Amino acid sequence: MADVTDMRGFIRCLEEMGEIKKLQGADLRLEVGALTERAADKEGPALLFSHFKGYPEGFRVISNAFRTCRRTAPAMGLPTDLKGVDFLYAWRKKLAAFKPVPVEQVEGGPILENQMAEHEVDLYKFPTPLWHELDGGPYLGTGCGVITKDPENGRINIGTYRVMIQEKNKVSVKMNMGKHGRLAFERSRAAGKPLPVAITLGQGPSVFLAAQMPLPPDVNEYEFAGFLQGSPVPVVRGAVTGLPIPANAEVVLEGEMPPMRDEEMPREGPFGEWPGYFTDANVGETPVMVVKRVYYRNDPIILGAPPLKPPSSYLPIPLGAATLWEQLEKAGVPDVRGVWGFVYGGQPGPFTVISIHQRYAGHSKQALLVAAGARAGAYGGKFVVVVDDDIDITNAAEVIWAVATRCYVRDGIDLVKSVWASVCEPAMPPEERSPRGYTSDRVLIDACRPYKWLEQFPAVNAFTKEFKDEVERKWKI
């Protein structure tokens, strides 16, 4: 299999797998976003767009790159034949085996092939699709990595934060409160200093996967990406900032974020976000980066990973559920057989489902309480459902069947108020939104058969899958 340590190697790998389609001349304003959405809806191929009207022929955009487990697996160092909960389990085990792979400092690389000096910077030279019809501006950065160095502890961080072009040499970078890039910005702002920033807009797939994951603050995303791809990420020092930038990236912006006051921050958004709505239009919340240099490879490829209306996504499955699964077991909830989410971004999201093999009275409630409070489940959660392990938690209809038939409402539903919410929560009343952040409530749904009288619970009126497979084979229906 091709080496997947940069975007081009990844594309060769997708070609070998027959998982990519090349489209020439699609319209950036009307067609690229809609084609990306349709391809994601049908779990179709990755799309590589080129030949945009008004742009050099070689300037390309790739989207829908990670929509299937088969395509994402090579970038995670996982086998390509796993799906659903099995894939999630393998991912969980991979995460648990993490050992940092330090970067390789190099002196040159393809990213230095072309440069725009400070007075030449013009971000409109790159093809930027209108990803969703009502987006508040051109989002050049969706599948990007925002590279910062914390002024206090010197830690390098890469985070995927949406990047909107404001002017030809200015972008807004929506690092939400608490995100690692934002913490670095707030520290340099408090000291009255600009924060040096570099943004990679097309890079090895493992670097993107690391950048969009909620990794702990002491994990360097480059070192995590190196672990995933099984080799160090080669980096060069950016001439303007001194920050490490991937030597084999496609496009990198370098510059700084001035220590702007909130009231100086421009309008940003709305943007089509992962819950499936245009949310989050804001003024006075989003830091601005002044771009002082642009580097790009010959015929650069920008990675588009726009959030989409569920059940579509830029990811194949709710990968963040693997972290919640680990946290449940670490908190002492035994026999968790799987965790899933139906409306997800990097987190399992507002509809999370857990399956357990019940061991004792209260086991199912324990799972619900921990899931609602654990780091990976608390942020942006809303409904948490626990089911027995005969339910296929990746199948929404089966989950609903379990809720409809096994939940005894009087005992099975609990409400927890004022838990940590996501800024993307569409149902939050405007008057409850505040720059200090917001909270929302949780509904805990116990859809397990009651442990106390499990043996008397009516038996399920279906033959086993194995027996049905056998008779199907025999009778060829």
Ligand X SMILES: Cc1cc2nc3c(=O)[nH]c(=O)nc-3n(C[C@H](O)[C@H](O)[C@H](O)COP(=O)(O)O)c2cc1C
Residues in touch with ligand X (CB under 6 A): 142, 157, 159-162, 174-176, 179-181, 212-214, 305, 307, 314, 346
Q: Is the CB of 248 or the CB of 347 nearer to ligand X? A: 347
Main-chain phi, psi angles of 367, to 5 degrees: -60, -40
Peptide bond connecting 232 to the previous residue in cis, omega within 30 degrees of 0: no
In the three-class reduction of DSSP (H, G, I as helix; E, B as strand; rest coil), residue 371 is classed as helix
Q: Which residues bind Mn ion (CB under 5 A)?
A: 157, 180
Q: Is the CB of 65 or the CB of 391 nearer to ligand X? A: 65
Least CB distance to Mn ion at residue 179 (A):
8
Is residue 289 within 8 Å of 199, Cβ to Cβ?
A: yes
Q: Exposed, middle or buried: residue 429 (CB in 10 Å: 0-12, 13-18, 19+)?
A: exposed
Main-chain phi, psi angles of 377, to 5 degrees: -105, -25
Least CB distance to ligand X at residue 192 (A):
23
Q: Cβ-closest residue to Mn ion?
A: 180
Is residue 136 within 8 Å of 270, Cβ to Cβ?
A: yes
Please tell me the distance from the alpha carbon of residue 364 to that of residue 445, in angstroms, as a whole number. 9
Q: Is the CB of 110 or the CB of 181 nearer to ligand X? A: 181
Least CB distance to ligand X at residue 141 (A):
8
Q: Cβ-closest residue to ligand X?
A: 159
Q: Is the CB of 163 or the CB of 328 nearer to ligand X? A: 163
Peptide bond connecting 270 to the previous residue in cis, omega within 30 degrees of 0: yes
Is residue 363 within 8 Å of 388, Cβ to Cβ?
A: no
Least CB distance to ligand X at residue 459 (A):
44
Residues 6+ apart with CB under 8 A from 100: 219, 220, 223, 224, 226, 227
Least CB distance to Mn ion at residue 157 (A):
4
Is residue 124 within 8 Å of 165, Cβ to Cβ?
A: yes
Q: Is the CB of 172 or the CB of 355 nearer to ligand X? A: 172
Least CB distance to ligand X at residue 222 (A):
12
Q: Is the CB of 66 or the CB of 126 nearer to ligand X? A: 66
Least CB distance to ligand X at residue 212 (A):
4
Q: Is the CB of 274 or the CB of 340 nearer to ligand X? A: 274
Of all helices (H) and strands (E), which one includes residue 418? strand 413-420
Least CB distance to ligand X at residue 196 (A):
16
Q: Is the CB of 145 or the CB of 338 nearer to ligand X? A: 145
Count CA atoms closer than 13 A to 208's CA, side-chain side: 30
Least CB distance to Mn ion at residue 200 (A):
15
Alpha-carbon distances of 383 from 339, 380, 416, rounded to whole Å: 13, 10, 10
Query: Which token pair is 35?
Result: 């084609």
Q: Is the CB of 4 or the CB of 184 nearer to ligand X? A: 184
Least CB distance to ligand X at residue 314 (A):
6
Q: Residue 445 binds which one of ligand X, Mn ion, none, with CB within 5 to 8 A depending on kind?
A: none
Q: Residue 342 binds which one of ligand X, Mn ion, none, with CB within 5 to 8 A depending on kind?
A: none
Q: Is the CB of 147 or the CB of 353 nearer to Mn ion? A: 147
Please tell me the distance from the alpha carbon of residue 459 to that of residue 445, in angstroms, as a whole number. 21
In the three-class reduction of DSSP (H, G, I as helix; E, B as strand; rest coil), residue 160 is classed as coil
Strand partners, 147: 158, 198
**Which residue stretches of 117-257 are H helix?**
180-190, 205-211, 221-229
Q: Residue 406 binds which one of ligand X, Mn ion, none, with CB within 5 to 8 A depending on kind?
A: none
**Closest by alpha carbon to 350, among 334, 333, 335, 371?**
371
Q: Residue 161 binds which one of Mn ion, ligand X, none, with CB within 5 to 8 A depending on kind?
A: ligand X
Of all helices (H) and strands (E), which one includes residue 296? strand 288-296
Least CB distance to ligand X at residue 324 (A):
14
Is residue 222 within 8 Å of 233, Cβ to Cβ?
A: yes
Q: Is the CB of 323 or the CB of 364 nearer to ligand X? A: 323
Q: Residue 131 binds which one of ligand X, Mn ion, none, with CB within 5 to 8 A depending on kind?
A: none
**Going along 93-173, which residue ranges are E strands?**
104-105, 114-116, 139-141, 145-149, 156-159, 163-167, 170-173
Pairing assessment for the beta strands 301-303 and 104-105 based on DSSP bridges: unpaired
Q: Residue 142 binds which one of Mn ion, ligand X, none, with CB within 5 to 8 A depending on kind?
A: ligand X
Q: Residue 327 binds which one of ligand X, Mn ion, none, with CB within 5 to 8 A depending on kind?
A: none
